Amino acid sequence: MSNAGYANKQAWDARYRENENLFEWYAPFDYLQERLQTATGINASSQVLVLGCGTSGLSAALFDSVCKNITSVDFSSTAINLQKQRNESRPGMTFEVQDIRKLSAGAGKYDVVIAKATIDAVLCSDGANANIKAALDEASRVLAPGGTFVVYSHSPPEERLSHFEREAYKWTVTSNQFVRPSITEVEGLPDDNPDNLLFEYVMKKA
């Protein structure tokens, strides 16, 4: 997919029509669960928003194991329809077609906001600087005071912190790196090779 394609609904719809199977960017939920719960304190009563859910199983796994108040959004209607069909047996899960640059939720609605690979996709699109600012502005707006925004990214702090550390967001930022669970395309490389690393960015709102 070209850089322009990352911001193109039709391109994403076509991708999901071609492959309707569950697809995980970077890592599945069970690999991230302990890390995510430690970072966020997520619990059964947390209000959670998943940005750019695609056809990932993260939302369903989170619903099954931790909490029931989960809204997942993506701007691909194909992905959202697939998620709705796949999760009919999980009443209360919400999947909505939304652009993360202009969310419909009211201010301060969510205790936890999660973006797995979504920020990387935004920053690979044409108009990346304007798009990422709009997306982060919205994440900050819908995050409740005391809430946590967690981003899982393939890019290191020197490429991401300038976007996250804006004074207007009124959150503190910490980052951690860890090894991806399986890297078939770079099998045999050492754990500290950049292609084997993922980064967790944790934004705690004041």
Taking only the tens place, the pLDDT of each residue in 31-65 is 999 999 999 999 999 999 999 999 999 999 999 99
Sequence-ordered list of residues with C-beta below 8 angstroms from that of 16, at least 6 positions apart, any chain = 54, 55, 76, 78, 79, 82
pTM: 0.89
- What CATH number is given to the structural domain containing 21? 3.40.50.150
Residue 24 gets which letter from DSSP? -
CA angle 158, 11, 184 (to 5 degrees): 55
Domain that holds residue 64: 4-205
Average pLDDT (81-105) is 95
Say if CB 98 and CB 71 are below 8 A apart.
Answer: no
pLDDT of 6 above 50: no
Count of domains observed in the chain: 1
Residue (of 76, 72, 91) closest to 15 by Cα position: 76
Backbone angles phi, psi at 82, to 5 degrees: -60, -40
